[in-house]
Amino acid sequence: MARARPSSSRARSKTRSPWRRRWSIAWKSLLVLALVAVGALVTAVYVARAQLPSFEDLKSSPNGQMIRVHAADGSVIVSLGPSYGEWLSIDRIPAVMQRAMISVEDRRFYNHLGVDPIGVARSVDVRVRRGRWTQGGSTITQQLARNIFLTSAKKFGRKFREAILALAIERKFSKDQILELYLNKVYFGGGAYGIDAASRRFFGHGANHLTLSEAAIIAGLVKAPSNYSPTADAEAAVGRAGVVIETMRETGAITPAQAAAADPQGVKLAPAPRQNSVRYFTDWALPQLELLIDETVKPLEVWTTLDTGMQRDADAAIQQNVPKGAQGALVALDRDGAVRAMVGGTDYVSSIYNRATQAVRQPGSAFKLFVYLAAIEAGKTPDDKELDAPVTIDGWSPRNDSRRNSGEVTLRTAFAYSLNTVAAKLGQMVGFQTVADMARRFGITTPVNTHPSMVLGTSEVRLIDMTRAFASVANKGVAVTPYAITKVTTDGETIYTHEVDRSHVLVAPDVAARMTDLLQTAVNTGTGRAAQIGRPVAGKTGTTTSSKDGWFLGFSSGLTTGVWMGRDDAKPIAGLHGGTAPAKAFAAFMRQAVAKRPIEEFDTKVTLPEWQLEPDDEAYYGSPDNSTFVDGDGYPIGGGAEAAPEAQRVPSDEPPATGEGDEQRLDQDWIDRVTNRRRDTPRPAPAPTAGVPAREVPVAPPAERRPPTRVDTYSTADRPYQ
């Protein structure tokens, strides 16, 4: 009996069963993988959730260290690093600010679990159509995770970790907590983190008073802080705010009437803080924190010695007196070493190089401070006599700028008129190594040579070091160390306080007093006359070869100020002498700086020199690069930096131009010369410092007078020590 054939349906079923089995296995495998993936994802999320800091910990941990620098009066002069304003709880954040941020950054914020699938799909669609990533799909929660825990690297691994953290954050914190963290931590440009810092930075007030237009400007910054920052591009910021307002209208966050009433263009932006001379001070002061404290994470409040009023006066004094094309620097130290003002150049924006603390330049005759200190310590007094006569030391022959010698003079007279021959003899007497040691003792940190010409300031020095040396003389011989930071606090706790050391005595008080005696004379009737301010002042000028550098350093009423002027390329500056622009800048600053301080008399009253000599121009061997005609008394009667060329310089009946400072000329010289009138009467002494009586100063007898004499110019190439 024949076997029955299977039906066609069973045959087809048997034929397809292997494929069905394969599909079944595949689907089951995918399901298992999906379940495993979901399980792994859930595990990863909950592991991440367990490792997340608490809400309070996240509030108190800024991204980076912030440093706020305070002036002596407590005002904030600069903020460095990330800037954080006041932390605003969600109930203190204006609703318009919350709606603006949600509308422009994550309009489904309250409906997703940390990752928005619709936003991701939209981002991928744009990527496919445009061929590049132009639209992000990150939620506010993802941005918060990235800002706190990750970097902004555009890698899929980072995006995956970001998604895990976002899901974990949503599991641990409420939506309000997430929004509060985000609005207080997100970066808005200009160094500002959080809406309060941004509001203060851009509008000058806290974020709890934001208007719709201001909120729109802040919300628009998150996309590209550097592009839309009001301080970088106000027009772009306003334009972006318009987009935010329109988005808020579309999402129903505001009504059409509110959108129409908004006026981003009418928002008044806060002026950008000045980044000028005060930055010279902070750039010098803040690196010292590494030596003072160990804290590198917590926000720091740094309290400094800077007097903002003095800083403005210092800036103005330099700006108003520095020669065209030149640079200027100023340092002012209080009696304990506190730096009250510091100007490192004419414009910080164009040059951050600090000429007050970094530049090394020759000080000219200002260096004679150390020569005379060494001589006084060796037993010399201001009234001791020294012969002003030609001298040669190891082949070096210094000359006075007047090109004449005055014979026997007191040290007071020699210092007041900066006689080079006397300084050279004093240096030889005490030893040039002794002078160098004295300079180092008083705080000169740069190398000091011991060539004979070093007494005229051939070693390069820093302005702050020279100012420190003069301040130590003013402090009766006790060392003054410049400092800028008085205390440092963090979280309300003081972690550093400066203590002034007054125990280091450099010279005996009587040595400092005698040196002050000489410095007073130099200002009252010598090379520093332009530095007079109507109260006792002691100081010294300095001018280098060909007028490349001009210095004035002095003190009054407990404040010591040093001024330097010159070119960065060390080219000559016509008419620049220590007794001209630098002395004028010193006087302009000090008049204001000490105006409210009581007048302080020095231990020794000012004593005028034996006779009135023309102040020396502090030249080196030879003469400066200008010829000068002098009369029989050594008074210039013409010439100078702006005089006619050498071949054209002849006596004339035209009155000479009058200068100031180191090159003061008296019209009476011209009158006497033209009329051939003998000047047999004493020359009147200049007006003395307030409160100090003047006395008649004798002059040389008529028989010693000579007719005008021409002084030749020597090449600077002949000067052995440059």
667-714: pLDDT as tens digits: 333 323 333 333 343 333 433 434 333 333 333 333 333 333 322 322
Residue 256 shares a structural domain with residue 369: no
Q: pLDDT band for position 301 (50/70/90)?
A: very high
Among 226, 261, 296, identify where a domain stops.
Answer: 261
What DSSP state is assigned to residue 78? E
pTM of the model: 0.65
Cα–Cα distance measured from residue 468 to residue 369, given in angstroms and rounded to the nearest whole number: 12
Higher per-residue pLDDT: 616 or 411:
411
Cα–Cα distance measured from residue 294 to residue 66, given in angstroms and rounded to the nearest whole number: 15
Q: What is the pLDDT of residue 584?
A: 97
Instruction: Give, for 672, the enclosing helix (H) or strand (E).
Output: helix 667-675
Residue 209 shares a structural domain with residue 93: yes
What percent of the chain has a predicted confidence (pLDDT) above 90?
50
Range with top average pLDDT, 49-58, 91-100, 656-665: 91-100
Residue 204 shares a structural domain with residue 90: yes
Which tokens in the block code for residue 599? Answer: 């007048």
Contact predicate 81/64, CB 8 Å: yes
In a domain, 151, yes or no: yes
Residue 252 shares a structural domain with residue 378: no
Q: What is the pLDDT of residue 719?
A: 28
Cα–Cα distance measured from residue 280 to residue 354, given in angstroms and rounded to the nearest whole number: 6
Q: What is the pLDDT of residue 164?
A: 87
Residue 246 shares a structural domain with residue 370: no
Cα–Cα distance measured from residue 616 to residue 423, given in angstroms and rounded to the nearest whole number: 12
Contact predicate 521/346, CB 8 Å: no
Please state the separation of Cα 552 from the chain's center in Å. Answer: 21
What percent of the chain has a predicted confidence (pLDDT) above 70?
76
The radius of gyration of the chain from alpha carbons, rounded to an integer in Å, stands at: 38
Residue 108 shares a structural domain with residue 246: yes
Cα–Cα distance measured from residue 119 to residue 112, given in angstroms and rounded to the nearest whole number: 10
**What residue spans of 186-233 are helical by DSSP H?**
195-203, 212-219, 225-228
Asked whether residue 95 carries a pLDDT value surpassing 60, the answer given is yes
Q: pLDDT band for position 273 (50/70/90)?
A: low
Residue pointed to by tokens 């000479």: 656
105 is catalytic: yes
In a domain, 451, yes or no: yes
What separation in angstroms does the CA of 475 have from each of 82, 433, 498, 557?
41, 25, 19, 11
How do beta strands 83-84 and 493-497 pair?
unpaired
Q: How far apart are the first and last CA of the chain?
A: 133
Higher per-residue pLDDT: 629 or 662:
662
In a domain, 110, yes or no: yes
* Region 350-373 average pLDDT: 96
What DSSP state is assigned to residue 664? B
- Closest Cα partner for 181 from 46, 55, 50? 55
Among 438, 459, 480, identify where a domain stops.
Answer: 459
Instruction: Give, for 114, the enclosing helix (H) or strand (E).
Output: none
In a domain, 295, yes or no: no
Q: What is the pLDDT of residue 145?
A: 87
Cα–Cα distance measured from residue 583 to residue 552, given in angstroms and rounded to the nearest whole number: 5
Contact predicate 281/312, CB 8 Å: no
Q: Which of 136-140, 527-531, 628-632 has the lowest mean pLDDT?
A: 628-632
Higher per-residue pLDDT: 608 or 220:
220
Residue 233 shares a structural domain with residue 94: yes
Among candidate residues 103, 199, 277, 365, the one labeled active-site is: 365
* Region 553-579 average pLDDT: 96
Cα–Cα distance measured from residue 143 to residue 105, given in angstroms and rounded to the nearest whole number: 10
> Which residue segment(s) compose the domain that 101 sits in?
57-63+81-261
In a domain, 86, yes or no: yes
Asked whether residue 469 carries a pLDDT value surpassing 80, the answer given is yes
Residue pointed to by tokens 């908004």: 262
Higher per-residue pLDDT: 92 or 694:
92
Cα–Cα distance measured from residue 319 to residue 316, given in angstroms and rounded to the nearest whole number: 5
Taken in order 538, 544, 546, 549, the sign of the CA dihedral is negative
Q: pLDDT band for position 153 (50/70/90)?
A: low
Q: What is the pLDDT of residue 147?
A: 81
Query: Where residue 394 sits, what CATH number does that domain have?
Result: 3.40.710.10
Asked whether residue 198 carries a pLDDT value surpassing 60, the answer given is yes
Across the chain, mean pLDDT equals: 79
HSE-CB of 185 using CA atoms within 13 angstroms: 24
Q: pLDDT band for position 130 (50/70/90)?
A: low
Contacts of 363 (CB under 8 A, 6+ apart): 457, 459, 461, 466, 542, 544, 549, 551
- Closest Cα partner for 602 from 700, 685, 524? 524
Which tokens in the block code for residue 294? Answer: 């160990």
Q: pLDDT band for position 64 (50/70/90)?
A: low
Quick count: other Cβ atoms within 10 Å of Cβ 335? 19
Residue 103 shares a structural domain with residue 240: yes
In a domain, 88, yes or no: yes
What separation in angstroms does the CA of 532 have from each of 363, 455, 543?
21, 26, 18
Cα–Cα distance measured from residue 66 to residue 215, given in angstroms and rounded to the nearest whole number: 24
In a domain, 647, yes or no: no
Q: What is the pLDDT of residue 699?
A: 33
Q: What is the pLDDT of residue 3?
A: 54
Contact predicate 614/635, CB 8 Å: yes
For the chain, what is the domain count? Answer: 2
Q: What is the pLDDT of residue 479?
A: 97
Q: What is the pLDDT of residue 437?
A: 97
What DSSP state is assigned to residue 418? T
Cα–Cα distance measured from residue 304 to residue 430, given in angstroms and rounded to the nearest whole number: 41
Higher per-residue pLDDT: 181 or 491:
181
Among 459, 486, 510, identify where a domain stops.
Answer: 459
Among candidate residues 83, 103, 105, 199, the one labeled active-site is: 105
Q: What is the pLDDT of residue 63?
A: 56
Which tokens in the block code for residue 420? Answer: 């080079």
Asked whether residue 634 carries a pLDDT value surpassing 70, the answer given is no
* Region 640-659 average pLDDT: 32
Query: Where residue 194 sits, what CATH number does that domain have?
Result: 1.10.3810.10
Contact predicate 581/565, CB 8 Å: yes
Contact predicate 608/694, CB 8 Å: yes
| Model confidence pLDDT, tens digit, residues 217-262 | 999 988 878 778 787 778 888 899 999 999 999 999 999 999 999 9
In a domain, 119, yes or no: yes
